[in-house]
Chains A and B, each alone.
Chain A
Amino acid sequence: MRQFFSILVCFFSFSFFAFGQDGHDDHSNDGNHEGGAYIETIGECHIPHDDPNVFNPGKTAFHHISDQNVYSIGPLQIPLPCILYGHGGKGLEMFSSSKFHADYHGNGEYAYNQYVLFEGSVRRVQDPSFPKGALELGHHRVYGKDVKVEGAKDKFQIFVCYDGKEWACDNKSTLDGGLFGGGMTSFTDFSLTKNVVTMLIIFIFLAWLFTKIAKMYKQREGQAPTGIQGFIEPVFLFIQDEVAKPFLGHKWEKFLPLLMALFFFILALNLFGQVPFFGGSNVTGNLSFTLVIAVIAFIITNINGNGHYWQHIFSMPGIPGWVKVIVTPVEIMGMFIKPLTLMLRLFGNITAGHMVIVIFVGLIFIFGQNGANPGAAWGTTIGSTLLTIFMMAIELLVAFIQAFVFTILTASYIGAATEEAHDH
């Protein structure tokens, strides 16, 4: 416990140091300015610089929980493989994100084959006349600013300043159809991003762990469990006896691998995302991931649904015809709402937890006026550290609870779909 506490304290003092560095960098780069937000003009480029004395907690939090094409651990920017598919005949390209020479913020100082890196994420220059190959841009030449759109809300657009000109950039394609400000653009990112790499690490780790445990069960047949086997067994039995058996009845064995995979994969990702100093991967707090597992749960539920289940949806027995007119649409909606809630619950809980921690740490910079008031910063550090420790403890609990909730709800949906008919 004491060890855990000291690790936490280390982590927060490190975070403080890291944020402090942040401010320092900004000062040294813009030495001729006495603070305050300003616009740097190079040729036709108007590059906005943030006020170094103003800390933007929302932006910091969003930056920390987003998926990126670099894996940043502290000041380290570990390059990851980029696999980019350019629409309109540009084709597939593969290269390392080290080509962008990302700075501390994850902004690329180089462009490569019309791709640039903004806040750790790849963007593509819209204009096809932008030169190909590696191009040196310089520091803070990829930037975002709000642009006016005729008859609509302002849009946050990424630009790259090259050769005294401002080139607009596209974000990668997303499937939200513009609902959350995304949509299909000129390219799709199939890279092994931070989240993908995290999933691979977890996959390999869990594969190693469970193969080892399975081997122990084989070798030590008829003996009491020991070591890691004894550590995992109660958890395994808990899911088996409290989740699979009560909800799935005699069919529990068929669905057990899915439930175990869901539980342990979500749990491991939740926990991995909370390890300090490890980049804070936010896989289970990313809608893309929760969407995938929710869709899998939806598919498994419905392909295993029996006649009884479908009858309950389309023609609920025992109620008059005119009520069915109301009940059937509700039941059909329920079919889709169930996986939707699965997806949003996990996403919301994990994302919120990560954001709260970032913002608690961010309080230090808000009250310390981003380094201008060290006294207030140190004072806030104490309160903020305590709050963050409390939050991390809750997050630890949430990691287990959410993995368990996802698993038990999936089991209950499958159980309801495969339940045998009974008398009303």
Chain B
Amino acid sequence: MLFLLDFSPIKPDLGLILWSTIIFLLFWGLIGKTAFGPIKDALKKRESDIQDALDEAKKARQEMANLKAENEELLAQAREERTKILKEAKEIKEGIITEARVKAKEDAKKIVIDAKEQIENQKMAAMIEIKNSVGTMALEIAEKVIKKELQGNAAQEQFVNTLVKDIKLN
């Protein structure tokens, strides 16, 4: 009874087979060539592009990290150097200050000694001048006294001379 109902979809029909073959092969050939192929290529290209971009980013990140490490090292080095320089400078400064202090002390001492010497010299010169002046004055006085006395008294004159002799210039 089943087949009396004419179950046609199960019967392979020549016409339908022919058309199905033509249409499917055409679809496969035409769309495969013009669409599926290019879409596949485009997707493949995009995939590789994305992969490349990711790889590049990774590489750049790696480089950045390297650069950073390098910078840090440099920075550390610079810091160390700075510390060293500062330390040296401090030492030099201290040295200069000490030296200057010593020198100033010496100079001051020298100045004082010089000044003392000069004062002594001046004093001597002044003494000599005073001695000379006093001698001259005493001579003049004595001359006057003698002139006056001598006119009358030889003994006095002798005494004056002894006196003059006694005036000692310390």
| A interface residues with partner B (beta carbon < 8 Å) | 58-59, 62, 65-67, 83, 119, 121, 144, 146, 154-156, 171-176, 180-182, 188-193, 195-196, 199-200, 203, 206-207, 210-211, 213-214, 217-218, 221-222, 233, 236-237, 240, 253, 256-258, 260-261, 265, 282, 285-289, 291-293, 296, 347, 351
What is the distance, in angstroms, from A148's C-beta to the closest C-beta of chain B?
A: 12
Q: Which of B1-51 contact A (CB under 8 A)?
A: 3-21, 23-28, 30-40, 42-43, 45-46, 49
Q: A257-B36, A258-B28, A292-B24 are in contact. Are A180 and B43 (CB under 8 A)?
A: no
Asked if A236 and B43 make an inter-chain contact with CB atoms under 8 angstroms apart, the answer reads yes
Asked if A214 and B20 make an inter-chain contact with CB atoms under 8 angstroms apart, the answer reads no
What is the distance, in angstroms, from B145's C-beta to the closest C-beta of chain A?
A: 137
Select one of A58, A189, A203, A347 contacting B15, CB under 8 A. A189
CB contacts (< 8 Å) of A203 on chain B: these are: 23, 26-27
Asked if B18 and A190 make an inter-chain contact with CB atoms under 8 angstroms apart, the answer reads yes
Residue of A nearest to B38 (CB): A214
Asked if A175 and B17 make an inter-chain contact with CB atoms under 8 angstroms apart, the answer reads yes
What is the distance, in angstroms, from A292's C-beta to the closest C-beta of chain B?
A: 4
A-B contact pairs, 16 of them (CB 8 A): A59-B5, A66-B6, A156-B5, A172-B14, A175-B12, A180-B11, A181-B11, A217-B39, A218-B42, A236-B39, A261-B31, A261-B32, A282-B9, A287-B10, A288-B20, A351-B9
Given contacts A189-B15, A200-B23, 4 further A-B contacts (CB under 8 A): A174-B13, A196-B20, A258-B32, A288-B13
Q: A199-B20, A206-B27, A292-B24 are in contact. Are A256 and B40 (CB under 8 A)?
A: yes
Q: Please report the C-alpha to C-alpha distance between residue A173 and residue B14 in the assembled complex, in whole angstroms.
A: 7
CB contacts (< 8 Å) of A195 on chain B: these are: 16, 19
Asked if A172 and B15 make an inter-chain contact with CB atoms under 8 angstroms apart, the answer reads yes
Q: Which 8 A-B pairs have the closest CB atoms?
A: A257-B32, A210-B35, A217-B42, A174-B11, A288-B16, A181-B3, A175-B12, A292-B20
Q: A67-B16, A144-B6, A196-B19 are in contact. Are A265 and B27 (CB under 8 A)?
A: yes
CB contacts (< 8 Å) of A67 on chain B: these are: 8-9, 13, 16
Asked if A210 and B39 make an inter-chain contact with CB atoms under 8 angstroms apart, the answer reads yes
Q: Please report the C-alpha to C-alpha distance between residue A258 and residue B31 in the assembled complex, in whole angstroms.
A: 10
Residue of B nearest to A197 (CB): B19
Residue of A nearest to B19 (CB): A196
Which applies to chain B's interface (DSSP): helix, strand, loop or mixed? helix
What is the distance, in angstroms, from A290's C-beta to the closest C-beta of chain B?
A: 9
Asked if B21 and A206 make an inter-chain contact with CB atoms under 8 angstroms apart, the answer reads no
Q: A211-B35, A261-B32, A287-B10 are in contact. Are A196 and B42 (CB under 8 A)?
A: no
Q: Please report the C-alpha to C-alpha distance between residue A285 and residue B42 in the assembled complex, in whole angstroms.
A: 35
Asked if A240 and B9 make an inter-chain contact with CB atoms under 8 angstroms apart, the answer reads no
CB contacts (< 8 Å) of B17 on chain A: these are: 175, 288, 291-292
What is the distance, in angstroms, from B51's C-beta to the closest C-beta of chain A?
A: 14
Select one of A199, A222, A257 contacting B37, CB under 8 A. A257
Q: A175-B17, A207-B30, A288-B20 are in contact. Are A240 and B40 (CB under 8 A)?
A: yes
Asked if A210 and B36 make an inter-chain contact with CB atoms under 8 angstroms apart, the answer reads yes
What is the distance, in angstroms, from A92's C-beta to the closest C-beta of chain B?
A: 12
Select one of A171, A236, A256, A289 contacting B20, CB under 8 A. A289
Q: Please report the C-alpha to C-alpha distance between residue A206 and residue B13 in the assembled complex, in whole angstroms.
A: 25
Asked if A193 and B15 make an inter-chain contact with CB atoms under 8 angstroms apart, the answer reads yes
Q: Please report the C-alpha to C-alpha distance between residue A236 and residue B31 in the assembled complex, in whole angstroms.
A: 14
Asked if A213 and B35 make an inter-chain contact with CB atoms under 8 angstroms apart, the answer reads yes
Asked if A253 and B23 make an inter-chain contact with CB atoms under 8 angstroms apart, the answer reads no
Q: Please report the C-alpha to C-alpha distance between residue A287 and residue B8 in the assembled complex, in whole angstroms.
A: 9
Asked if B3 and A180 make an inter-chain contact with CB atoms under 8 angstroms apart, the answer reads yes
Q: A217-B38, A257-B37, A261-B31 are in contact. Are A192 and B19 (CB under 8 A)?
A: yes
Residue of B nearest to A84 (CB): B15
What is the distance, in angstroms, from B111's C-beta to the closest C-beta of chain A?
A: 89
Residue of A nearest to B8 (CB): A66
Select one of B9, B13, B21, B36 contacting A256, CB under 8 A. B36
What is the distance, in angstroms, from A157's C-beta to the closest C-beta of chain B?
A: 10
CB contacts (< 8 Å) of B5 on chain A: these are: 58-59, 62, 156
Q: A146-B4, A154-B4, A240-B43 are in contact. Are A66 and B9 (CB under 8 A)?
A: yes
Select one of A66, A171, A174, A293 contacting B14, CB under 8 A. A174
Asked if A121 and B8 make an inter-chain contact with CB atoms under 8 angstroms apart, the answer reads yes
Residue of B nearest to A196 (CB): B19
Residue of A nearest to B35 (CB): A210
What is the distance, in angstroms, from A336's C-beta to the closest C-beta of chain B?
A: 15
Select one of B23, B32, B34, B38 contacting A199, CB under 8 A. B23
